[in-house]
Amino acid sequence: MIRIFILCIIVFLPFKVLFSQEGERIGTPYTSIKSVPLAAPIIHSSSYFFQDDMLVHLTLGIDQVQLHYTLDGSTPTIESPLYTDSILLDKSCILSVIAFHSDYLSSSEVRARFFKIDHAIQVKKISLDRIADEPYVGVGASGLIDLVKGSFDFHASTWLGFNGGDLEVLLELEEAIPLHKVIVSTLIDHRSWIFSPRYMEIYASNNGDDYKLIGKSTMYEVEETAERRFQYLEAPCHTESATFIKIILKNIPYIPDWHVGQGDPSWMFIDEIIFE
Amino acid sequence: MLNRRKFIESTLTTIVGGALLPGAKAVFNGKDAYYRDLIIGHHTHRYKIDMHWGALNADFYPVNDCHEMVQDSKGRILLLTNHTKNNVIVYDKSGRLIDVWGTEYPGAHGLSLHVEGGEDFLYISDNERHEIIKTSIDGKLIMTIPYPKDSGLYKGPEEFIPTETAIAPNGDIYVADGYGLQYILHYNSKGTLLNVFGGRGVGDAYFDNAHGICFDDRDKSNPSLLITARQQNALKRFTLDGQLIEVIPLPGAFICRPVIHKNHVFLATIWSGQGLANSGFVSILNAENRMISAPGGSRPQYIDGTLQAMHQTSKIFQHPHDVCVDDDENLYVAQWNAGKTYPIKLVRV
């Protein structure tokens, strides 16, 4: 038994900071391989929206790294496809990537959602019931239907920012379309006082006067621990014919108590509206 | 049953015996890789990691943010933290505690050491007291430099939030107001304001987060100032009288302060990529100010002379805030907002 005890000490020796009985350090164990995770790999794409197909690139600048990915929303494993030069996307998907390496623990999972826009909807006119708040005025309302996705840099002109209150977006289409889903692309960045809208309502009309509620997204409850990320609000809709579409984005009433800005109006950022 | 147990025990003894014998590595063959030390960094600057180097009992010697570190003329390593129980913690190179002092620096942020007449002096930038404090190496007050009222640029002390000092060989003091109005303030050794440059603005000669500054005497006949523009991911070189010489872009690297050791520049990089939390690493530039190694970060790559965007590659560091290079070429990395942890030592291989 004593021998087993000694064995245990020897085996665990390299993983402990060692101190003598007087509290002095008697060893300097270095971090061993397979004890530190890789950082998250980076997904490079020109946009998150595309019409026919699009090339996506992945990187993690460390030699001998292996990036495995899936396109169906499942968590990649070492068995999943191995990234080489690029990935060709030809349909809407969720790209998930995990990095593996012989000297490191695997990375956390990185996910990005890509949308294939099947048919470009001809928008005759888009307007907002309020102008975006300075300095986040972007390129105006037209930026919401230009298929350009913003980055995390919310100062960029791809984003429109609204401080407190709700937002109403009104679209007039060239011709009536059937509408099954509306997706609004938003940002969550609590450190910068940017919160997701709580929910949205979609109304449709064929004459521009009589609007009918045709869809509503689920309610988003603010997560205190939410990391900075893109947030897509989705509202399934039910109409076979819509020429005028009204989208009402409901802001949270005020910044929650756990945040440094508690009680103040929150910022709502949107960069794109997608119709399916 | 007994026999089986005896067999296991004797097998284990053999392994233990083998492990203890020098040169008996073969015993671990096949498992050898499991015990290998992780090595980070690139090219000439690669390191093993000692995560626990400076760890102390936090009940007695607590830290909040570990902001900056220097090595003094006796070879000791000094850490500056904004914990007022012990603002300065003095270690030997092995991480053994030697001394603590300082209870009056709630905003202890910048720490520079300058040898004057054979004696070490410290310059502390305190961004809550809104002043610079010069002390002896053991903490005796020598001089304070309050906010630069005479400049006419500041409405009051609260606008002056200095992050760093650099001391020229003649004793002139350069202060970076990195969290304040972004000016670089040039004083003589007595604390008289001589010149002001930088500030917030559009153009290369202006700053967004002029966080760190150092005196660059690698070109002995042409000394200059290296100043970080952290939010701009760039290092800017100025003449000693405040003329912009060049901008060194380091895309993706939110660099805190430049530290010159021999011909290289070492920079704690608090965030990387798009600036996400816990995305830091260490940047190392060569004599030509090209990134050659990034422990914890991506392999530096230049295409047509342009550094490709840097990013973190492994979760070793959270928010590196300063790097101290000792006389053995080892690094000590102090971190801001890292769960009140103590500095990490990188041992050069």
Confidence of residue B26 (pLDDT cuts 50, 70, 90): very low
A38–B313: do the CB atoms touch at under 8 Å?
yes
When pLDDT is cut at 50, 70 and 90, the band that residue B250 belongs to is very high
Which residues between 110 and 149 in chain B have a beta carbon less than 8 angstroms from any beta carbon of chain A?
none
Question: What whole-number distance in Å separates Cα of residue B176 and Cα of residue B211?
Answer: 7
All residues of chain B having their beta carbon less than 8 Å from the beta carbon of residue A26 are none
Give the mean model confidence (pLDDT) for residues B41-59.
97
Beta pairing class for B108-116 and B193-198: unpaired
CATH architecture, range A42-116:
Sandwich (2.60)
Q: Please indicate whether, in this complex, the C-beta atoms of B49 and A31 are within 8 angstroms of each other.
A: yes
* Chain B nearest C-alpha distance from A29 (Å): 7
Gap between the Cα atoms of A151 and A272, Å rounded: 12
In this prediction, residues B240-268 reach a mean pLDDT of 98
Write down the pLDDT at residue A250.
Answer: 96
Q: How far apart are CA A92 and CA A232, in angstroms?
A: 14
Chain A residues in contact with B16 (beta carbon < 8 A)? 3, 6-7, 10
Residues from chain A that touch B332, judged by Cβ atoms under 8 A, are: none
Alpha-carbon span B227 to B234, nearest angstrom? 9
Q: Give the sign of the dihedral formed by CA B328, CA B329, CA B335, CA B338.
A: negative
CA distance B67 to chain A (A): 22
Tell the residue number behind the tokens 């559009």, with chain if given: B202
Q: Could you tell me the end-to-end alpha-carbon distance of chain A, in angstroms, rounded to an integer?
A: 69
Say what percent of chain A tops pLDDT 90.
68
- Cα A185 to Cα B174: distance, rounded to the nearest angstrom: 47
Pairing of strands B320-325, B306-307: unpaired
Q: Tell how far CA B45 is from the center of its chain.
A: 16
Confidence of residue B348 (pLDDT cuts 50, 70, 90): very high
| Out of A33, A34, A36, closest to residue B316 by CB | A36
Nearest CB neighbour to B51, from listed A24, A31, A65: A31
pLDDT at A122: 86
Question: What residues contact A119, with CB distance under 8 A and at least 6 apart?
Answer: none
Q: Where are the domains of chain B?
A: 30-60+251-349
Q: Closest Cα to residue B189, out of B171, B201, B209?
A: B171
HSE-up of residue B267 (Cα within 13 Å, Cβ side): 34
| Residue found under tokens 């970076």 | B176
Q: How far is CA B310 from CA B58, B147, B270, in A?
A: 34, 36, 12
Residue with tokens 């003649």: B170
Which chain B residues are Cβ-neighbours of A29 within 8 angstroms? 50, 52
d(CA B184, CA B164): 10
Query: In angstroms, rounded to a whole number, what is the distance separating the alpha carbons of residues B221 and B216?
Result: 11
Chain B 27-46, residues with CB within 8 Å of chain A CB atoms:
33-38
Structure-block tokens of residue B278: 């816990």
Cα distance between residue B275 and residue B6, in whole Å = 58
- pLDDT band for position B141 (50/70/90)? very high
Q: How many Å apart are CA B100 and CA B90, to the nearest integer?
A: 6
Question: Do the Cβ atoms of A31 and B37 come within 8 Å?
Answer: yes
% of chain B beyond a pLDDT of 70:
90
Contact criterion met (CB < 8 Å) for B298 and A34: no
Inter-chain residue contact B298 with A30, CB threshold 8 Å: no
Token pair 């603590």 is found at B100
Distance (Å) from the alpha carbon of A110 to chain B's nearest alpha carbon: 14
C-alpha separations of A38 from A33, A272, B240 in Å: 11, 32, 42
B-interface mutation test, from A58, A62, A189, most B Cβ less than 10 A away: A62
Distance, CA of B40 to chain centre:
17
CA distance B131 to B161: 8
Q: Which residues of B touch A61 (CB under 8 A)?
A: 297-299, 301, 310-311, 313
| Inter-chain residue contact B314 with A4, CB threshold 8 Å | no
Predicted interface score ipTM higher than 0.95: no
List CB contacts of B2: < 8 A, sequence separation 6 or more.
none
CATH of domain A123-275: 2.60.120.260
> Pairing between strand B119-126 and B131-136?
antiparallel
- SS3 percent helix, strand, coil of chain A, rounded to 5, is 10, 45, 50
Residue-level pLDDT at B332? 98
Cα separation, B253 vs B251, whole angstroms: 6
Whether residue B43 is predicted with pLDDT greater than 60 in this model: the reply is yes
Q: In what side-by-side order are the strands of the sheet with B131-136?
A: B108-116, B119-126, B131-136, B141-145
Domain ranges of chain A: 42-116, 123-275
Confidence check: pLDDT of B127 > 60: yes
Helix B2-20 / helix A2-12 crossing angle, nearest 10 deg: 40
Report the distance separating Cα B307 and Cα B250, nearest Å.
7
Token reading at B106: 């709630």
Q: Write down the mean pLDDT value for chain B.
A: 92
> Six-digit token pair at B173?
């003091």
A105: helix, strand or coil: strand
Looking at residues B190-199, what average pLDDT do you find? Answer: 98
- Closest B-chain CA to A151: B274
pLDDT of residue B16: 41
Determine the pLDDT at residue A117: 84
Q: What are phi and psi of A97, to 5 degrees?
A: -135, 140
Size (chain B), residues: 349
Q: State whether B38 and A60 contact (CB < 8 Å).
A: no
3-state secondary structure chain B: CHHHHHHHHHHHHHHHHHHHCCCCHHHHCCCHHHHCECEEEECCEEEEEECCCCCCCCCCCCCCCEEEEEECCCCCEEEEECCCCCCEEEECCCCCEEEEECCCCCCEEEEEEEEECCEEEEEEEECCCCEEEEEECCCCEEEEECCCHHHCCCCCHHHCCCCEEEECCCCCEEEECCCCCCEEEEECCCCCEEEEEECCCCCCCCCCCCCCEEEECCCCCCCEEEEEEHHHCEEEEECCCCCEEEEEECCCEEEEEEEEECCEEEEEEEEECCCCCCCCEEEEECCCCCEEECCCECCCCEECCEECCCCECECCCCCEEEEEECCCCCEEEEECCCCCCCCEEEEEC
Query: What is the distance in angstroms between the CA of the first residue and the CA of the last residue of chain B?
Result: 49
pLDDT at position B92 is 97
- B18 versus B205: the higher-pLDDT residue is B205
CA dihedral B72, B76, B80, B83 (to 10 degrees): -150
Running along chain A, 276 residues long, what does each successive block of 10 average in pLDDT?
A: 52 47 58 96 91 94 97 97 97 96 96 83 91 92 85 88 96 91 94 94 94 94 86 92 94 93 94 89
- Looking at residue A119, its pLDDT comes to 65
- B303 interfacial to chain A (CB closer than 8 Å): no
DSSP A101: B
pLDDT at residue A121, as a whole number: 77
Q: What is the mean pLDDT of residues B166-178?
A: 98
Residues with Cβ < 8 Å from A176, sequence gap 6 or more? A206, A241, A242, A243
